[in-house]
A and B are shown apart, each in its own frame.
Chain A
Amino acid sequence: MKFKRLWAIFKARNLEFFRDRSALGWNFVFPFLIVAGFGVIFGGKGYTEYKVGLAPYSGRIESGSSVDIPSDFKELRYTEFVGFQTLEEGLETLRHHKIDLLIRIDATPFQYWVDDTSPKGYILEKAFRGSFAEMTDDLPASRMEFKGKRIRYIDWLFPGILSMNMMFSALWGVGYIVVRYRKNGVLKRLKATPLTAFEYLTAQVLSRIFLLMFTLTVVWAGCHLIFSFEVAGFYLDLFAVFFVGGLSMSAMGLLVASRGTSEEFADGVLNFITWPMMFLSEVWFSIESAPRWIKTFAQTFPLTHMLKAARMIMNDGASLRDVSLEIGILLSIALVCLTLGASLFSWNK
Chain B
Amino acid sequence: MSYILEVKQISKFFKTLAAVSDVTFSIEKGTCFGLLGPNGAGKTTLIEIIENIIPPTSGEVLYKGNPRTTAFREEVGIQFQQTALLSYLTVHETLKTFQAFYRTSPDLKGLISECYLDEILTQYNDKISGGQRQRLLLSLALINDPQLLFLDEPSTGLDPHARRNLWEIIERQKGLGRTIILTTHYMEEAERLCDIVAIMDHGRLIAMGSPRDLISTHCRGAVLSLSKAGVKNSLGKLPTFAGEIGDRIEIQTDDINSFLKEFLENGVPLSDMVIRSPNLEDVFIKLTGRKLRN
Contact = CB atoms under 8 A, between A and B. Distances in A.
B4 interface: no
Contacts of B96: 8
A275 B59 CA distance: 48
Interface string B81-125: 011111111000100111011110000000000000000000000
Given A192-B51, A194-B73, A194-B102, A185 B84 contact: yes
A316 B106 CA distance: 59
Given A191-B53, A193-B73, A186 B101 contact: no
Contacts of B80: 185, 188-189, 192
A193 B72 CA distance: 9
Contact of B86 (A4, A12, A194): A12
A195 interface: yes
Interface string A1-27: 000110111011101100110000000
Contacts of A19: 88
B180 to A, nearest CB: 16
Nearest to A196: B70
Interface string A79-100: 0000000000000000000000
Given A7-B100, A194-B73, A188 B89 contact: no
A236 B224 CA distance: 85
A15 B94 CA distance: 11
Nearest to A9: B97
A193 B256 CA distance: 53
Interface residues of B, number: 26
A12 B89 contact: yes
A189 B83 contact: yes
B183 to A, nearest CB: 15
B78 interface: yes
Interface string B50-89: 0101100000000000000010011010101011111111
B95 to A, nearest CB: 11
A348 interface: yes
Contacts of A16: 86-89
Contacts of A188: 53, 80, 83
A12 B93 contact: yes
Interface in A151-205: 181, 184-186, 188-195
B50 to A, nearest CB: 12
A19 B98 CA distance: 19
A348 B204 CA distance: 25
Nearest to A192: B78
Given A12-B93, A16-B88, A194-B102, A185 B83 contact: yes
A186 B74 contact: no
Contact of B82 (A7, A185, A190): A185
B102 A193 contact: yes
Interface string B138-157: 00100000000000000000
A192 B53 contact: yes
A192 B74 CA distance: 9
Q: By DSSP majority rule, is chain A's interface helix, strand, loop, or mixed? A: helix
A13 to B, nearest CB: 8
Contact of A194 (B70, B87, B97): B70
Contacts of A190: 101
A338 B283 CA distance: 54
B74 A194 contact: yes
A313 to B, nearest CB: 36
A11 B96 CA distance: 11
Given A12-B93, A15-B93, A188-B80, A348 B53 contact: yes
Contacts of A181: 84
Interface string B20-55: 000000000000000000000000000000010110
Given A193-B73, A348-B53, A20 B88 contact: yes
B88 A15 contact: yes
B83 A186 contact: yes
Contacts of B86: 12-13, 16, 186
Interface of B: 51, 53-54, 70, 73-74, 76, 78, 80, 82-89, 93, 96-98, 100-103, 140
Interface of A: 4-5, 7-9, 11-13, 15-16, 19-20, 181, 184-186, 188-195, 348
28 contacts: A5-B101, A8-B101, A9-B97, A11-B97, A12-B89, A12-B93, A15-B88, A16-B87, A16-B88, A16-B89, A20-B88, A185-B82, A185-B84, A186-B83, A186-B84, A186-B85, A186-B86, A188-B80, A188-B83, A189-B83, A189-B140, A192-B51, A192-B53, A192-B80, A193-B98, A193-B101, A194-B73, A348-B54
A-B pairs with lowest CB-CB distance, top 5: A8-B100, A184-B84, A19-B88, A193-B101, A192-B78
